[in-house]
Amino acid sequence: MSTFLFILNEAPYGSERTYNGLRLAATLTAQPEQQVRVFLIGDAVLGAKAGQKVPAGYYNVETMLAKVAQRGEVGLCGTCMDARGLRDEEMSPGCRRSTMVQLGQWTTQADKVLVF
């Protein structure tokens, strides 16, 4: 089994970095022998806000994160959430407030760290 850590930094919409990172994370979670963790930091924490409505045919980061959270883990930088006025109860199911200490632990436990 390999452990992958994805660190996502950018806002959920505007650039496609978060989208592409989640596409790869979702692909890996579909392989049962892979462990996937995603940590959202900076503006990326906005992607975990529940209730996103996007135009028809456009990708939905909330939905993508939910798919990853079903088989993996999704952590959110608590300091980044606070800076953006996001409360725990506003976050999508499976996405939980976390810390830099947790990110440090996940980093040392990961076989591969991918930063988007």
> Which domains does the chain possess?
2-115 (3.40.1260.10)
Over range 83-109, report the average pLDDT.
97
> Residue 103's pLDDT is what?
98
Over range 1-18, report the average pLDDT.
96
Over range 31-53, report the average pLDDT.
97
C-alpha span between 95 and 108 (Å, rounded): 21
- pTM value is 0.96
> Residue 50's pLDDT is what?
97
Output the average pLDDT for the chain. 97
C-alpha span between 21 and 58 (Å, rounded): 16
